[in-house]
Amino acid sequence: MTIGAEIIDAAHRIPVEHIINGRGIKLRGKIERLGPCPICGGTDRFSINTKKQLFNCRGCRKGGDVIALVQFLDGCDFREACAILTGETPSHSVERQAVECVSGIGDYERQQHDKAQRLWRGSKAAAGTPVENYLHWRLNGNAGQCRRR
């Protein structure tokens, strides 16, 4: 199933700053706006250019137009990004929307889920750290021996 040129054109007419502002992403500057990446969290890695209508994250090594921005932020494909921008509902996302509606996932829960995913992707192995020592101690049944003084 192909997506119509009129839908793609309508999606491209949405300014990148509307997407950023609508999602509560705080950036500083006027034309070249920059700040922390909403995906990787890197400070001053993420930017949008309101004149060129482009975004870029140096940490994630992603960039592009407003459609690519929605793909980047939502982890969706091209068709779904166009649908999000234009308010259309693509046929393959109807099932996901129904599941979200039934399970009661709201904006807060979605934000918390996204935050957890960012933290998980940015995590490091525990080997050779105090975390490894603590987990080893806990797994050996020593948790009951810890007392408050």
DSSP per-residue string spanning 47-110: EEETTTTEEEETTTTEEESHHHHHHHHHT--HHHHHHHHHT---GGGHHHHHHHHHHT--HHHH
CA 88 – CA 94 distance, rounded (Å): 11
pLDDT at 53: 96
pLDDT score for 108: 74
The pLDDT, as a whole number, for residue 143 is: 52
Residues in the chain: 149
Q: What is the DSSP letter of 60?
A: T
Reduced to 3 states (helix: H, G, I; strand: E, B; else coil), residue 130 is helix
3-state secondary structure of 109: helix
Provide the pLDDT for residue 115: 79
d(CA 77, CA 27): 25
What per-residue confidence (pLDDT) applies to 1?
58
Express each pLDDT in 89-113 by its tens digit.
654 444 454 445 445 556 777 777 7
**Which residue is associated with the tokens 């990787």?**
40
**Residue stretches of the chain with pLDDT short of 50:** 91-95, 97-99, 101-102, 146-149
pTM of the model: 0.60
| Assigned fold of 5-104 | DNA Primase; Chain A (3.90.580)
Which secondary structure element, helix H or strand E, spans residue 57, and what is its range? Answer: strand 54-57
Instruction: Look up residue 27 and give its DSSP letter.
Output: -
**Residue extents of the structural domains in the chain:** 5-104
Burial (Cβ within 10 Å: 0-12, 13-18, ≥19) of residue 38: buried
